[in-house]
Structure 1
Amino acid sequence: MQQRVDLILGEQVLHGHVRVLLQYEVSEEQLFNHSL
């Protein structure tokens, strides 16, 4: 049971990191486009 909880928490953390990275890349692209 505990392993399953850890797995779910791990996936949530992973998805959180991916979401943050995607937002960061998108905002960087917008900045880059504005500076051109």
Structure 2
Amino acid sequence: MFVNGSNVGIGTASPTSKLTIVGTGTDDTDIRLYDNDGT
């Protein structure tokens, strides 16, 4: 779980990446793919 400004994301981790839903509780919800180092 991470907090990015007003956005809260919950993601599932895999060996190389995690799929994170960004924008929970906001008007927009973005789905972004991050590497395991968070970039």
Per the TM superposition, whether the score is higher than 0.5 is no
TM-score w.r.t. the length of structure 2 is 0.16
TM-score w.r.t. the length of structure 1 is 0.16
Higher relative contact order (CA 8 A, sep 6+): 2
- Identify the structure with the greater helix proportion: 1
Which has the larger Rg?
1
